[in-house]
Amino acid sequence: MAVPRADAGQRLAGGDGGYTVKVEDDAPRAATYTVHGPSLCLTRGSRVSVIGVRLVGVRGGARVTDFTVMDRHVSVGLVKKRIDRLRPLEDGTRQVRRRCDADEGTADLFVEVTRPAGSAVAGGSAIGIAYRDGDRIRHVRKRIGVFVCADLEERRCREA
């Protein structure tokens, strides 16, 4: 399912990224990593619910297996830890309540990405976010690539 361009009524904003996170994992079995995705905030209103996160431009069968939103900054980067272990430690939720124009900072999206066994390069070039805004479902795309590679120097990983 393609993530449509955000419509004019969009309320969810924040860092657009423009970067790619890569990690090396040469294990032949599946590998799961949690990546610190974009910061999120609201342009208006008081709350939206993030209802889905997916990779865009998927390679190697990678998939999003979980996600959470945290209201305070957590320095995680990219870790080999499942979100179900991270979420209780930091009061993770799927709600964004912080306003972009307030002095309260932003919420941070964390995305769990799984590379299937046997895939040398797996990931996606962007993150698509679906969220509920009242009774409407809206979509936004953030330019943050995530790749798990068996060898970071391998050409397919360098070009990802």
What is the rounded CA–CA span in Å between residue 39 and residue 140? Answer: 13
Q: What is the pLDDT of residues 110-157, one digit of tens each?
A: 888 888 988 888 899 999 999 998 889 999 998 888 888 887 787 777
Rounded to an integer, what distance in angstroms lies between the CA atom of residue 148 and that of residue 88? Answer: 25
Question: Please, are residues 160 and 124 in contact by the beta-carbon 8 Å criterion?
Answer: no
Mean pLDDT score across all residues of the chain: 78
pLDDT at 22: 79
Helix H or strand E encompassing 49: strand 48-56
pLDDT digits (tens, 9 = 90+) for 6-37: 444 568 887 766 677 777 777 778 888 888 88
Helix (H) / strand (E) element for 86: namely: helix 83-86
**pTM value > 0.85:** no
* Position with higher pLDDT, 139 vs 78: 139
Note the pLDDT of residue 72: 62
Phi and psi at residue 98, to the nearest 5°: -85, 135
Over pLDDT 70: what percentage of the chain? 78
Return the structure tokens found at 85. 């272990």
pLDDT surpasses 60 at 77: no
Quote the CA–CA distance of 44 and 28 in Å, as a whole number: 46
Sorted by sequence, the CB contacts under 8 Å of residue 8 that are 6+ apart come out as: none
